[in-house]
Amino acid sequence: MVCVPQLDEVLDGLHVVSLPMRVRFRGITVREVALIEGPVGWGEFGAFPEYEPPEAVFWLASAVEAAYRAPPAVRRDRIPINATVPAVVARQVPEVLSRFPGARTAKVKVAEPGQTLADDVVRVNAVRALVPTVRVDANGGWSVDEAAEAAAALTADGPLEYIEQPCATVPELAALRRRVDVAIAADESIRKADDPLRVVREHAADVAVLKVAPLGGVARILEIADQIDIPIVVSSALDSAVGIGRGLLAAAALPDLPYACGLGTGGLFVDDVGEPVEPVDGFLPVAPVTPDPARLAALAAASDRRRWWIDRIKACYPLMS
């Protein structure tokens, strides 16, 4: 964790915002986050509502790190990003991709509850017709047998760069990796695990997807990077512009960055706390984000929601060290 300021100091710099979304993503159409202004910059606490304090505290630590700790040195000033395609119908794919100008890679959500593998194939092929490199994300939604079937179906008409978190557990990922030719990426098996390095030790993944907030901050990302020998993709946890800025910083500080990062999710919001920065030739610039006061006011959450986030910070705060 990070050096912890006084709770009152954290709450004094608190802004809670509600960001309307263009399409349903992860089951929501409005994204709430708490932003913390500190002496170094702005941090974002956006743990999803279902996360209890023992898990949400890492997100709070990440926000405090951003607001109170000097950033690391960077190795690059722009980051390649992938387009993110939610589990939309195929006819919506061109509209979604239009929000990611120049992106040469797209991540497509699959295994959505209530949808079929046939729906996934149609969506992936619609993306493949417009973007040269396609990866998919199942969020642990398949069994090993289902994932093997999906891998065959989703590669019948073209390759996949990788399948992200096809199964929920590390043993399942390892078993699937032995059965399919497609690269396997781990996300939840890293960021929601007591031991985020287990996937590497058990040869369960070819790629590590790391998200700044769920892992506790940029410094923790860099620590993990020092301990693993597989490529890293830095991705968003449906962050506001503030959180995206931290993800870009982490990606910029990594020794190697062979893959496009999942940091283009700002295009999923109707409005954000900072002036939208569109990708140029598929890249986003690395720069800290200072929210616009007018946007903070316009996007401020209702008073009861602000109180909910304050209570949540108070519940997480004693767990920080």
Instruction: Give me the torsion for CA of 94, 148, 258, 131, rounded to 10°.
Output: -20
**Residue of 107, 192, 211, 314 with catalytic role:** 211
120 is in an annotated binding site: no
SS3 171: helix
95 is in an annotated binding site: no
Structure tokens, 25: 């993503």
Q: Is 107 a catalytic residue?
A: no
Element housing 25 (H / E): strand 14-25
Terminal C-alpha separation, the chain:
6
172 is in an annotated binding site: no
Q: What are the strands of the beta sheet with 105-109, ordered from one edge?
A: 83-85, 105-109, 133-137, 163-164, 184-186, 207-211, 232-235
Query: Do residues 145 and 121 lie in contact, with contact meaning Cβ atoms separated by under 8 Å?
Result: no
Instruction: Give me the torsion for CA of 134, 27, 208, 171, rounded to 10°.
Output: -110
Which residue type, as a one-letter code, is found at position 27?
A: G
Q: Is 314 a catalytic residue?
A: no
Report the alpha-carbon distance of residue 21 to residue 199 in Å, rounded: 33
The annotation places the binding site at 137, 164, 187
Active site amino acids: 109, 211
The annotation places the binding site for Mg(2+) at 137, 164, 187
